[in-house]
């Protein structure tokens, strides 16, 4: 009887902790959507116990923004989870090796003899993040993408560093296409979509129509607006849609041994036992987080661009680990006065470290700083502190300057909570 009593107390205690997490998670996302900073679906689980499974809609907005549990979202780079799986499945089937080099599959690819499949899979190929000037293309076939990738220069010797590369995953897409018996899409359907019973997942550009499709939105001058149609149907390769249910189903079966040997599936995870993939494109944000150590799975899909992405992902993981986090709150930044002498230190031209084709010029004009992007769009930025600036008082976005070892100032751009480092080029 005493053992049964202790067991009952233990069960109640676990249930109580779960309910507390659920309350705190719901409070967080309710506050976030109330501030017009989140619109979408969230699934959080710990040790296979679901703590939160809910749709959040920004209040008092147009009905076309609203989502529910059945809504299908473009998941952008979260689709790389499926590409990674497909490559490892082909390895398991003996159709390729991680040690194979790129020139075995694309003989005329520059430096192909240096770049291994493993380098591509773990973002260590040396290839840049994006195809140069990729924004000018409304639609790109896989064949054209590979041709453009051949013109890209290596950022570093393959295997010596890690640099996130969409280019590398386009190449993996092509390798899957040529290494599988019936091509890329047939392989993805048979090995992932059908076996995992992902009934609401597919490639947007190959679909005639998508029921319950969540159209993407963004904020412009304080108004929430639909993104242009051409940004929804931008590229012909890897443009996946999915639901919160399908993504979670995949996470729960990944290590089951049913569809892939567990030892192979573990290669999906890093040495820290983490599988993390963020996704974003105009109108959409998505996140997949699976931690084997903590037992935490955290997935969200959103049809809204303007989310404080990094803060949200860090806060939720901290919340679940019992570490400090802060509830979302209204932002109201105040500008201060800074002398022209100080402002001059920040002028110059900068390029993103992750994508050197993305350049920004800081100029001083009429006692104020302006940032000009590579398309010529000019935006006034206001000083919040002597080294941190903003362009909108209610946005968490920022432009931060810090001196390097040579005494010159470098620029870090914070956009939707993500820190983007730059290098001064002028």
Write the pLDDT tens digit of every residue in 262-293. 999 999 999 999 999 999 989 999 999 999 99
Residue where the block lists tokens 């040997």: 261
- Work out the pLDDT band at 93, boundaries 50, 70, 90: very high
Whichever domain contains 373, its CATH number is 2.40.128.50
Rounded CA gap, 86 and 89, in Å? 5
State CA 329 to chain mean position distance: 23
Q: What's the domain count of the chain? A: 2
Does 252 fall in a domain? yes
Extract the tokens encoding 227.
């993104």
Mean pLDDT estimate for the chain: 90
Indicate if the pLDDT at residue 34 is higher than 60.
yes
- Give the pLDDT score at 385: 93
Residues 270 and 359 in one domain: no
Does 5 fall in a domain? no
Residues 272 and 346 in one domain: no
- Work out the pLDDT band at 9, boundaries 50, 70, 90: very low
Q: Contact 313/296 with Cβ under 8 angstroms?
A: no
Residues 103 and 252 in one domain: yes
Percent of the chain with pLDDT over 70: 94
Extract the tokens encoding 378.
């000019």
Rounded CA gap, 303 and 286, in Å? 9
Indicate if the pLDDT at residue 7 is higher than 60.
no
- Give the residue from 200, 194, 170 showing the smallest Cα distance to 69: 200
State CA 58 to chain mean position distance: 21
Q: How many helices (H) and strands (E) does the chain have?
A: 11, 18
Does 25 fall in a domain? no
Give 201-251 pLDDT, tens digit per residue.
998 876 778 999 999 999 987 899 999 987 787 665 668 999 999 999 999
- Work out the pLDDT band at 11, boundaries 50, 70, 90: very low
- Work out the pLDDT band at 404, boundaries 50, 70, 90: confident
Where among 262, 277, 292 does a domain terminate? 277
Task: Give, as one character, the DSSP assignment of residue 256.
Answer: S
Where among 231, 260, 277 does a domain terminate? 277
- Give the pLDDT score at 112: 96
- Give the pLDDT score at 236: 57
- Look up the domain containing 394 and give its range: 340-424
Whichever domain contains 110, its CATH number is 3.40.710.10
pTM: 0.86
Where among 277, 307, 324 does a domain terminate? 277
Residues 273 and 346 in one domain: no
Does 168 fall in a domain? yes
Residues 207 and 93 in one domain: yes
Query: Average of pLDDT values for 161-173?
Result: 94
Return the higher-pLDDT residue of 394 and 112.
112
- Give the pLDDT score at 273: 97
Q: Is 264 left (phi over 0), alpha (psi -120 to 50) or beta?
A: alpha
Extract the tokens encoding 9.
């107390």
Residues 197 and 90 in one domain: yes
Residues 103 and 223 in one domain: yes
Rounded CA gap, 234 and 131, in Å? 14
- Give the pLDDT score at 153: 93
- Give the residue from 355, 225, 318 showing the smallest Cα distance to 25: 318
- Give the pLDDT score at 401: 93
Query: Average of pLDDT values for 24-30?
Result: 97
Query: What are residue 208's phi and psi, to 5 degrees?
Result: -70, -45
Residues 271 and 184 in one domain: yes
Residue where the block lists tokens 């116990």: 49
Rounded CA gap, 227 and 337, in Å? 36
Indicate if the pLDDT at residue 122 is higher than 80.
yes
Residues 142 and 221 in one domain: yes
* Cα–Cα separations (whole angstroms), residue 219 to 225, 336, 358: 6, 26, 22
Residues 220 and 344 in one domain: no
Residues 355 and 217 in one domain: no
Does 306 fall in a domain? no
Query: Average of pLDDT values for 75-79?
Result: 94
State CA 180 to chain mean position distance: 27
Residues 106 and 243 in one domain: yes
Does 406 fall in a domain? yes
Indicate if the pLDDT at residue 51 is higher than 90.
yes
Does 39 fall in a domain? no
Does 367 fall in a domain? yes
Which segment of 114-123, 146-155, 385-394 scores lowest on mean pLDDT? 385-394
- Give the pLDDT score at 6: 47
């Amino acid at each position: 009887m005493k053992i049964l009593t202790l067991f009952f107390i233990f069960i109640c205690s676990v249930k109580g902790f779960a309910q507390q997490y659920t309350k705190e998670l719901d409070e967080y996302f309710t506050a976030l959507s109330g501030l017009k900073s989140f619109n979408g679906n969230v699934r959080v689980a710990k040790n296979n116990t679901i703590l939160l499974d809910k749709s959040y809609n920004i209040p008092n907005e147009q009905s076309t923004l609203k989502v529910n549990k059945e809504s299908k979202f473009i998941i952008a780079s979260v689709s790389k989870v499926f590409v990674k799986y497909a490559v490892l499945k082909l390895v398991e089937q003996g159709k390729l090796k991680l040690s194979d080099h790129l020139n075995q599959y694309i003989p005329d690819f520059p430096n192909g003899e240096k770049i291994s499949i493993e380098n591509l899979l773990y973002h260590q190929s040396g290839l840049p993040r994006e195809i140069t000037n990729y924004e000018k293309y409304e639609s790109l076939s896989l064949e054209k993408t590979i041709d453009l990738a051949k013109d890209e220069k290596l950022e570093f010797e393959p295997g010596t560093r890690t640099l996130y590369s969409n280019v590398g995953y386009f190449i993996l897409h092509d390798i899957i296409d040529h290494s599988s018996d019936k091509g890329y899409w047939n392989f993805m359907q048979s090995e992932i979509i059908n076996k995992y019973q992902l009934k609401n997942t597919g490639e947007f550009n190959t679909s005639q129509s998508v029921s319950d499709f969540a159209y993407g939105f963004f904020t412009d001058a304080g108004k929430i607006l639909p993104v242009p149609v051409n940004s929804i149907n931008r590229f012909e390769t890897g443009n996946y849609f999915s639901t919160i249910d399908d993504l979670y189903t995949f996470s729960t079966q990944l290590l089951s041994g049913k569809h892939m040997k567990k030892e192979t599936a573990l290669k999906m995870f890093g040495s820290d036992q983490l599988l993390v993939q963020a996704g974003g494109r105009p109108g959409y944000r998505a996140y997949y987080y699976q931690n084997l150590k903590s037992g935490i799975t955290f997935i969200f899909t959103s049809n809204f661009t303007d989310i404080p992405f990094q803060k949200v992902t860090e806060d939720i993981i901290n919340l679940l680990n019992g570490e400090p986090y802060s509830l979302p709150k209204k932002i109201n930044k105040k500008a201060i006065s800074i002398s022209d002498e100080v402002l001059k230190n920040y002028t110059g031209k900068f390029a993103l470290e992750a994508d050197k084709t993305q350049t920004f010029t800081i100029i001083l004009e009429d006692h104020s700083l302006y940032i000009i992007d590579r398309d010529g769009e000019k935006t006034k930025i206001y000083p919040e502190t002597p080294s941190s600036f903003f362009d909108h008082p209610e946005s968490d976005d920022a432009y931060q300057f810090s001196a390097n070892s040579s005494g010159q100032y470098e620029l870090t751009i914070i956009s939707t909570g993500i820190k983007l480092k730059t290098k001064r080029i002028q």
